[in-house]
């Protein structure tokens, strides 16, 4: 079983839709949770990071962490064609250095 599971998609939605991206994990020791966006042939870009259960909002993006279910989500409101990219969840341990990434979900937002 992988430490971090993420559906690779692709996920295709119309412009303006609410997008929900999810990851599950197996190790309850993970403490820090991140979401990255990666455009084709580019480096990942940090979108959100959080270290507690609950919601964190930044503009059109909301990150949600449920540690009891070992489940994290990223919601994108009013999705735009420019949001079309691969979204990677990532997590790490307290005091640790290694970040574990999900395989990424490819998102297509159609105009």
Partner 1 sequence: NAGVMQNPRHLVRRRGQEARLRCSPMKGHSHVYWYRQLPEEGLKFMVYLQKENIIDESGMPKERFSAEFPKEGPSILRIQQVVRGDSAAYFCASSPLGERDEQYFGPGTRLTVT
As measured in angstroms, the least distance from the Cβ of 62 to partner 1 is 19
Exposure class string for 72-97: b at 16+ Cβ within 10 A, else e? bbbbbeebeeebbbbbbbbbbeeeee
Q: Which of residues 6, 64, 79, 84 is near partner 1 by CB under 8 A? A: 6
Count of C-beta atoms within a 10 Å radius of residue 55: 12
Q: Which is nearer to partner 1, 2 or 110 (CB)?
A: 2
Going residue by residue from 53 to 92, which x/- string records binding to partner 1, judged by CB under 8 A? -----------------------------------x-x-x
């Amino acid at each position: 079983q992988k430490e971090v599971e993420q559906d690779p998609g692709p996920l295709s939605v119309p412009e303006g839709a609410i997008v929900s991206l999810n990851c599950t994990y197996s190790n309850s020791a993970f403490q820090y949770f991140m979401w990255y966006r990666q455009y084709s042939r580019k480096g990942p870009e940090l979108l959100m990071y959080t270290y507690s259960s609950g919601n964190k909002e930044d503009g059109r993006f909301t990150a949600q962490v449920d540690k009891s279910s070992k489940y994290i989500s990223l919601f994108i409101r009013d999705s735009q064609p420019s949001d079309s990219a691969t979204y990677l969840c990532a997590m790490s341990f307290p005091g640790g250095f290694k970040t574990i990434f999900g395989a990424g979900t490819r998102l297509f937002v159609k105009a």
